[in-house]
Each structure stands twice: as structure tokens, then as C-alpha cells.
Structure 1
Amino acid sequence: QAASGEGEEGGSQGDRAPIPEGLAPDELTPEKVHELFLGGGGERKLGDDPSTGEPILLKSGRYGPYVASGERKSSLLRSQSPDSLTLDQALQLLRLPRLVGVAPDGAEVVANNGRYGPYVKRGDEFRSLDSEDKMFTVTLDEALALLAAPKTRQRRAAAPPLREMGNDPLTEKPLVIKDGRFGPYVTDGEFNASLRRGQTPEELTLEQASEMLAEKRAKGPAPKKKAAPAKKTAAKKTTTAAKKTTTAAKKTTAAKKTTAAKKAPAKKAAPRKATSTPKE
């Protein structure tokens, strides 16, 4: 439990940590609970910012751990763990977006981390960086070269796995960790499971990976949506309209016959032959 109350025997109070506002009960995974107890009270002080003197705190929010100092906030990178985050790493995060330099046209070039990973930006132009570390090391010349290159829509060549873990003890299939669009994940070639907050490709154990994939297999593939059946109302309307058309056609035909009968001239009666009366 995220916050424990009185014990069954001694009635003593356990450790407590506040649950962030907006966090749903089903999101309280063991990893999330671990984040909430980073240092008691759901936060841990890493030190003070030497430039401002303000404390730098490691906190846990709805979308994972982050560092905060004054009004500045920054989420941890995918490769970082709250347990091992240092003060220097926190200071780097709080300096994002980083000003790389000024382009010849006077526009600022910055490096930052976004929804789809690290990037460099000048005005409305964006280009992706191939690693998170590049946000802190990319030079102005390198950034301008990236921004000058045309955007490519071609698919990249398949990247090598981040780590080969060996065979799954349950299925004997080889397990590897790959870097996906939304972060690293473990796969056996059929099922995928994203690494959770606090898990890193280097520290994930084979047993943990096997358990994560077993949970995915138990859920089975996502059900396919069935096509909606055709509405009967439309068919009824079509049938009714056809019936009305047929009835109208019959009435029209009958009316034509009646009119034709009225217009046809009556035949003249044949003259009667004169009958002579015999004389006596």
C-alpha cells in the first residue's frame, strides 16, 4: 500500500507518502509506489542550485519522477533512474532547453527533450538527435548541419538491440531489449512489454523480463473490432419505397385504361330492315 495505517498488533504508524492529484488507483503499480517513497513524503532533496541557492528536489508525479527547483521542472530521461540520480544530472535537466548558440541569421538554436525524444530547433525547424546525451554536447556547427539537411521520411535501418538477455525460462525464446518510439521494451519476437519507470536496460533481470512477457501473453492479443451490421431501417425504407412505386404504377396504368375507354367512340347501331306486311 502507498500509505499504511495502524498495524494489526501494535497499532504503530507505518511510512506514508502522499498520492499525487489525478493519479488513478489502477496506476499504483509497485514501481510507482517505490517512486512515491523516494525520500519520505514523496520527495528527496538532492542539494542546492549553486547559481540561485534554491533547493533541488526529486519528486514523483503522475507521469513519473522529475526534478524541481523554484518554478523550474524537468522530467527524468529514459536512461535515468530516481535511485541513482545525482545533483549534477539534476542541474543538467533543469538547464533544458539548452541554448546551443545563435545562427548567422540571428535565430537562436536550442536543444531540448520532447515527446518523441531529443531534438535541436531553430525557429520552426526541428531535427531529431540520435541520443539523449547529445542534448548536452551538440555544438552549434553540428546543430546547423542537421538543420540544413532535408527532412527524410524514409524508414531508418533497424537498430541493433540494446541488450541480449538470453532465453526466456518459460518459453525458451530468446529475449532482447530494444529501443522503441516510446522507450525501451523487452520482446521475444511475438510479445512486447515496455520497461517501467525505474527500470533500465542494464539492470532489468531475466526473471523480471520473463514475468512481464508472461503478463502480456495472459492478456492475449487485442480484440479486433467487428464491422457494424448494416442498418435494417435503410432496407425497410428501400422496400417500402419500392412498394409505393409499384402501387403508383398500377394506379397510373388503371387510370390510363379508364381514360382510353371513355375516349373511344361508341359504335352506331345497325339500321333495322323494313318488314313488308303481306296484303290480304
Structure 2
Amino acid sequence: MGLFWISASIHKPKSHALSSRRYLISEQFRWNKSKSRRYSGNILAVATSEKSTSTRNTPSSASKALVIVESPAKARTIQKILGADQYIVESCVGHIRDMPKSAKQIPAKYKDLHWSRLGVNVDDGFKPLYVTVEGKQKIITSLRNLMKQSERLILATDDDREGEAISWHLQEVLKPKIPVSRAVFHEITPAAVKKAFEEIRQVNGNLVEAQEARRVLDRLTGYTVSPLLWKKIAKNLSAGRVQSVALNMIVNREKERLQFCTALYYDMRARLRSRSDGNNNPEFMAVVTHVAGKRLAAGRDFDEKSGRLKESVSAGEVVHFSESDAVAFCQRLEATKDVSLKVNKVEKKRKKRAPPQPLITSSLQQAASRQLGLGAGQTMRVAQSLYENGLITYMRTDHAELADDAKKTATQYIS
């Protein structure tokens, strides 16, 4: 004898949480020698006939190099790895230059120009106006003094557009007269750092211009649309290149949610036990899917806007049980003594489940929110600290690839 019961299900809208997609705006510039910005630094190349061969500027035991990174914590970790005999590792504490954020930051010679408050020269190819970030002059002075004691300058900022831009701004402000090179790595481990210093390169102008294009677009959107919102809607509202598009997506999803109509349907389940060996067999759960040859209606059979069965669902093939229908069906089965159910078919399937992918920026934020209740900002601050202390790889990435050191360590641990 089986025990039957029913459960009511309300067809609800699927989650409208935005998928973590990153929309990348890429600005492509044509290289024009007469108008392009020249990137300072000593290009390490040797001409041989019609080809140029890149040379590596490896540290010399007799030289002392100044290494500049973004944060003090990162500087301390790298200093421990490199030692103090050949390297001085110092931080610039983020960006040292940016577009002016207030009228008082605008240089006097630009204040009378109509585009000065915007910080972008819209009359000359949208060239940005850069000023020293408040509070960074002491850091710049300190770096210049350290540079005088060094024979080489190595820029080891993060390997992304922002990091590349920071390196370029450092070159522009410090104006080094010593050889300059760029070192990049994705994890702060001894092997990764030493390999990066063996494979140095120059600042990537394309990445710098990509960051600059994004920054200019941010400024053009925010500084022109936000005042319009203050005037037409309410004070303290803001617009942006990304946030305005994201807000539009949220509004559209909310409209879909408001238009959704719920539908009430019932399913039935039974707790059964095999009688082949008496009553010693364990119970198992079974779901009623068909009644008299007709499939029970499920959530997918209902229209989201009307709450009724979809027109594509044939009434002769699907049965929609009301509460009274479901109760009567269960009572009829339970009232039948010694009811026997027959297993018509048993299917066995082999499933292959791949291990979860390594975390990228979006999946890291989702996992931290779901499991730890952390916001995106707090998650990235914690991740930044872990990265700077050499505990995780670089956290701002869309590439789900494990570091070589991590693969080797995992293989050794498993074996």
C-alpha cells in the first residue's frame, strides 16, 4: 500500500537577475605618426637586415632597479621575492594622474575654455586633460628621488588596461632618463615574478589608448547627461556609460515581471515500497506524471502573460488538475485496499559531470554573494588583498585558466 499526497505549485516567473555579462567597448585608433602620442621609454630592439629582434633586458648583478607597483602590500610581497640587493620596490598607490574632478583642479590656462570643466578637448580629437591626483605629489617626489638612485626603472603594474595606463602616466610624469621596461604577471609567486622580469617589454600603446577611450566615454556620458537628470528629474542622480545601460536592462526585466500572471496547478507524489521481499525494502519517492494516459500540466505549459494553458498545448494530451481533482484522485487510490503499482520500465543512464570552472570576476562575485552574502565591492577588496599577498591569481579576468604553479601544486598533492 502506498501513501499518496499532493502539493500545490504556483507557476512563478523565472529569476530576472541579470546574467553577468561584460560589455566591452573597444576603441580602435589608427596609428598616425604625425598626430599620435609618443610613448616614452627605451625601445629594446636591434635591427638585423629587414627584421628586428627583441632583446631581453635582464637584471644585472651590479645594477639596482626601481620597481614600481600600485599598492604598498603588493610592493612588500614582491620585495620579499626579489630581495633588496638588486631591487627597490615602491608603490605609486594607484593612479597618479586623472582628468580634473573639480573646477579648482583645472589649470589656470584652461579655465576659460568651454570644455575645461568636462576635462576633454572636444575641439581637438577628444584629447583628455590630465592633472595630478590630489595628495599624490609627495609620492611623485619620492619616486623621483628613488629613481635618481637607480640604474633602471621597471613598471610592474597590473596586466590590464588600467595597469598599462598607470605605467604610461608614470613615464609621462617621472620623465625617466634611465632605461624603462614593463614587467607583467598574473600571480605574485616567486616563479611568476622572476619569469616576468626575464621577459620584460615596453608599455603597450594600444592598451593605454583603450583605457583612455573608456575614460573619455565615461566623462562624456556622465558629465553631460547627469546634469540633465538633475534638472528634469531629481538631484543627485547620475548617468554613465555602463550604469545607464544596466539600468535600462533592469527596467525592462521589471516590466516583464509586472506583466507576469501566476497560474495554480497541482502535482501528486507517492511514497512506495517494493513487496518482493516483504516490508524490509526501503521506501522510495515516485511522482505522478500521467493520469489515464494524459500528462499532468506543469509550469512550462502555462502562458506567462495570461496564466492559462498555452494554445500550443493540446487539451486532449494534457490534464490540468484543480485542488479538488487532485484530492479526489489521491483519496480514491488510498481507499483502494492492497493497491498494487507496476513498474513498466527502468532506465539507467551514465552521466558525466565536469568539475566547476575556475572563478572569473563575475562568477567570483556571484559565489561570494550567494555563499557569504558579500557585495561586489567588498568581494573585490578582499580579492585584491589576497592577490597582493600572493595567495590568488589576478582577480579581474574573464579567462578561466589556472596558473601553472597551481596545476603543478595540485598534481603533486593528488599524486
Q: TM-score, normalised by structure 1?
A: 0.22
Task: Kindly name which structure, 1 or 2, has the bigger radius of gyration based on alpha carbons.
Answer: 1
Give the number of the structure whose residues are more often helix, by fraction: 2
Structure with the bigger RCO (C-alpha within 8 Å, sep 6+) is 2
Q: TM-score, normalised by structure 2?
A: 0.17
Give the number of the structure whose residues are more often strand, by fraction: 1
